[in-house]
Amino acid sequence: MGGVSGDQPQNDNPSAAAAPPPSLEEQLLSAAAAGDADEVARLIELDADVDYQDDEGVSPLMKAAEGGHTAVLAALLQSGAPWNAQDKNGYCAGEYAMGSGQQEAVDLLLDFAVQAELVLGALQRRMQAGSSSGPSAANSDYLSQKLVYRGEQLLDAEGEAVMMGWERPLMIRHAQLICPGARGDEHLQEAEAAQDQEQIGGQERAAGDAAGAGTEVEVALVVGDQPPSALAAAVAADMVAAAAADAAAAAAATAEGSGQGAGGPQRRRNGGGGGRVLNVGFGLGIVDEAIQSHNPERHTIVEAHPDVYDHMVRQGWAARPGVRILRGRWQDVLPELLAEAPYDGIFFDTYGEYYEEMRDFHIQLPHLLARDGVYSFFNGLASDNIFFHMVYCRLISLELASKGLTVEYEPLAVGALGDEVWQGVRSKYWHFETYFLPRVTHSDPLDCVEEGEEGAGAAAEAGEEEAGSGSAGGAGAGGGAEKEEADEEGKGEDGRAG
Ligand SMILES: C[S@@+](CC[C@H](N)C(=O)[O-])C[C@H]1O[C@@H](n2cnc3c(N)ncnc32)[C@H](O)[C@@H]1O
């Protein structure tokens, strides 16, 4: 007879017997992965922690996103699961959904994230209403540092890149979009292209084109080891859908007369001219050189850093015909900008400023931008996480739509930037192979006033509006961002606002 008695438990695998039962959270992870909405609801009812992340940082929300289980996603989000938690590789639930091609889950997470950020931003502004309106800590820290120009790099005292030469093609395209001189050529080219198209047989334009997102450039996004094609398809579809939705929302807002832009300034040009162009943030002057190549009538440049200003003067910018340099933070020279407005083209690209400061600038846009003008900005928010980046693109579109402005994102191939590009720079601040170049216009450009009706009048209007904006936030005409501390999430990786 063996030594095992009949009433003793059999134990062929001692280690299995020793394993504790799965915790509520582990059960939640499994149920989310399986898309078992009832079980997920039961576990949430039992107080399972929806914030749970396993040893790899994987959360129930990520698992539900990966499987495209939208009912589970909704239940988890409603119970407080953080949409922006990241696993050990830095991926969030939105990227899990994108990686597995779950477009519905991507949309759900994107909508939720944007709503959450809108509410959070409004709450933060409400809490900070009335507090100091000086520069953010990050901006004043940057402005007090000694800068170094080294070839096609502008570095701060810690070796962080303020601006780099690899951005040249982006800056050239930004300048083309905002300069009336270049826009004229482009419209001509577009008209010719449309004629060619008709001759070929008038095929329907691609969906991306219809929504205003350029489709000529191949969209290629690589984030870590996620499959690029799935990501690219999801992102492109989303950007196009977002642009179309925002355009519709903006048009509706303007039609109802609720868009602030409806009363915005229009300056009728006497045909052709190079127009008035404003650039905020000189850096290496790449965008300003590109603007100059389109012969603006007037080219205003705002620059806050004393070292950059000195560099500009050394380079002869102060003596260039038609160029006006405003030294100081844009917030501080805002009254002068409003007095000179409207501009036919505006570009915004600062450093050491975050989403809130850019938002403050956007509040002023309806008063700064001519009715038929074009605005663009360096689009570098959350430039190391494609889903967070999409959230910001969408957030900006929505916030601008509420001002009667429409945003279209044009995908521009950046390609893979090798290590050699980042040599001598402390941190790499760009991680995608595609740049989504924003083109912002008034939703209703036909609503215009004659030349001379804008400018000082618009300035007074802007001042009144901001004076009365109270806790709704925004920089007053006297200048100053309302936020002392920068929101860590609302920054470009390099600390650039856009
Ligand atoms: C990234 S660089 C601009 C690069 C530029 N687009 C180019 O093509 O070279 C940012 C510039 O904005 C300036 N800047 C930072 N904060 C500013 C502010 N609040 N107002 C105006 N300029 C600011 C910086 O000193 C820097 O020169």
pLDDT one-digit tens code per residue, 453-484: 444 444 444 444 443 333 222 222 222 223 23
Give the lowest-confidence range in 290-294, 379-383, 447-451.
447-451
Say whether both 221 and 106 belong to one domain.
no
The residue type found at 27 is: Q
CATH number at residue 95: 1.25.40.20
- Ligand 1, atom 3, lies closest to the CA of 283
Say whether both 224 and 318 belong to one domain.
yes
| Cα 175 to ligand 1 centre (Å) | 15
Residues with Cβ within 8 Å of 43's Cβ and at least 6 positions away in sequence, in order, are 24, 27, 28, 31
| Cα 178 to ligand 1 centre (Å) | 17
Flag whether 444 is in a domain. yes
Secondary structure element (H or E) that encloses residue 430, with its range: none
Flag whether 142 is in a domain. no
Flag whether 75 is in a domain. yes
- Which residue is listed with tokens 């489709």? 215
Say whether both 30 and 119 belong to one domain.
yes
| Overall domain count for the chain | 2
Say whether both 302 and 386 belong to one domain.
yes
| Cα 297 to ligand 1 centre (Å) | 22
Residue 277 contacts residue 345 (beta carbons within 8 Å): yes
Q: How many CA atoms within 13 Å lie on the side-chain side of 442?
A: 29
Residue 331 contacts residue 479 (beta carbons within 8 Å): yes
| Cα 186 to ligand 1 centre (Å) | 27
Tokens of 312: 């500009």
CATH number at residue 376: 3.40.50.150
For the cut 70, the answer to whether the pLDDT of residue 240 exceeds it is: no
| Cα 493 to ligand 1 centre (Å) | 15
How do beta strands 405-413 and 276-280 pair?
A: unpaired
Question: How far apart (Å, rounded) are the C-alpha atoms in residues 21 and 11?
Answer: 17
Residue 138 confidence class, pLDDT cut points 50, 70, 90: confident
In this prediction, residues 243-254 reach a mean pLDDT of: 49
Choosing from 142, 325, 327, 349 the residue with most ligand 1 atoms within 8 A of its CB, the one to mutate for a pocket test is 349
- Ligand 1, atom 11, lies closest to the CA of 281
Q: How many H helices and E strands in the chain?
A: 18, 10
Flag whether 47 is in a domain. yes
For the cut 50, the answer to whether the pLDDT of residue 408 exceeds it is: yes
| Cα 304 to ligand 1 centre (Å) | 7
Query: Which segments of 135-220 does DSSP mark as H helices, in order?
Result: 137-143, 168-178, 180-200, 207-210
For the cut 50, the answer to whether the pLDDT of residue 489 exceeds it is: no
The conformation of residue 86, written as its DSSP 8-state character, comes to B
- Higher pLDDT: 284 or 181? It is 284
- The whole-number pLDDT of residue 444 equals 85
> ipTM value of the model?
1.00
- Ligand 1, atom 1, lies closest to the CA of 163
Question: How far apart (Å, rounded) are the C-alpha atoms in residues 400 and 250?
Answer: 8
Flag whether 285 is in a domain. yes
For the cut 60, the answer to whether the pLDDT of residue 449 exceeds it is: no
| Cα 446 to ligand 1 centre (Å) | 32
Say whether both 121 and 159 belong to one domain.
no
Atom of ligand 1 nearest to the CA of 279: 6
Q: What distance lies between CA 8 and its chain's CA centroid? A: 66
- Ligand 1, atom 14, lies closest to the CA of 350
Domain's final residue, options 91, 125, 159: 125
In this prediction, residues 148-161 reach a mean pLDDT of: 97
Helix (H, G, I), strand (E, B) or coil at 19: coil
- Ligand 1, atom 19, lies closest to the CA of 329
Q: 161 pairs with which residues across the strands?
A: 155
Flag whether 258 is in a domain. yes
For the cut 60, the answer to whether the pLDDT of residue 242 exceeds it is: no
In this prediction, residues 424-435 reach a mean pLDDT of: 96
Question: How far apart (Å, rounded) are the C-alpha atoms in residues 73 and 71?
Answer: 5
Residue 94 contacts residue 110 (beta carbons within 8 Å): yes
Say whether both 153 and 120 belong to one domain.
no
Say whether both 215 and 85 belong to one domain.
no
In this prediction, residues 187-201 reach a mean pLDDT of: 49
Domain's final residue, options 110, 125, 140: 125
Domain's final residue, options 92, 125, 158: 125
Q: What is the pLDDT of residues 317-335, one digit of tens each?
A: 999 999 999 999 999 999 9
| Cα 496 to ligand 1 centre (Å) | 8
| Cα 91 to ligand 1 centre (Å) | 30
Say whether both 468 and 427 belong to one domain.
yes
In this prediction, residues 282-311 reach a mean pLDDT of: 98
Helix (H, G, I), strand (E, B) or coil at 126: helix
In this prediction, what percent of the chain has a pLDDT beyond 90?
62
Atom of ligand 1 nearest to the CA of 167: 8
Atom of ligand 1 nearest to the CA of 307: 25
Quote the domain boundaries for residue 354: 148-198+206-490
| Cα 27 to ligand 1 centre (Å) | 50
**Mean of the per-residue pLDDT values of the chain:** 79
Say whether both 106 and 194 belong to one domain.
no
- Ligand 1, atom 4, lies closest to the CA of 283
In this prediction, residues 384-413 reach a mean pLDDT of: 97
For the cut 50, the answer to whether the pLDDT of residue 267 exceeds it is: no
Tokens of 125: 């502004």
The closest alpha carbon to 431, from 493, 496, 384, belongs to: 384
- Ligand 1, atom 20, lies closest to the CA of 329
Atom of ligand 1 nearest to the CA of 350: 12
- Higher pLDDT: 117 or 217? It is 117
- Higher pLDDT: 203 or 112? It is 112
Flag whether 9 is in a domain. no
- Ligand 1, atom 26, lies closest to the CA of 283
Residue 467 contacts residue 324 (beta carbons within 8 Å): no
Atom of ligand 1 nearest to the CA of 281: 12
- The whole-number pLDDT of residue 181 equals 86
| Cα 316 to ligand 1 centre (Å) | 18
In this prediction, residues 35-54 reach a mean pLDDT of: 98
Q: What is the pLDDT of residues 49-90, one digit of tens each?
A: 999 999 999 999 999 999 999 999 999 999 999 999 999 999
Give the lowest-confidence range in 87-101, 181-195, 209-223.
209-223
The closest alpha carbon to 472, from 396, 401, 407, 399, belongs to: 399
How do beta strands 343-348 and 369-377 pair?
A: parallel
Say whether both 66 and 178 belong to one domain.
no
- Higher pLDDT: 130 or 317? It is 317
- The whole-number pLDDT of residue 452 equals 41
CA end-to-end span of the chain: 80
Say whether both 285 and 418 belong to one domain.
yes
Say whether both 356 and 477 belong to one domain.
yes
- The whole-number pLDDT of residue 203 equals 33
For the cut 60, the answer to whether the pLDDT of residue 196 exceeds it is: no
The alpha carbons of the chain give a radius of gyration, in whole angstroms, of: 26
- Ligand 1, atom 2, lies closest to the CA of 283
Ligand 1: list residues with CB < 6 Å.
Answer: 139, 162-163, 171, 280-287, 302-305, 308, 329-330, 349-353, 496
The residue type found at 389 is: H
Flag whether 132 is in a domain. no
The closest alpha carbon to 367, from 448, 459, 298, belongs to: 459
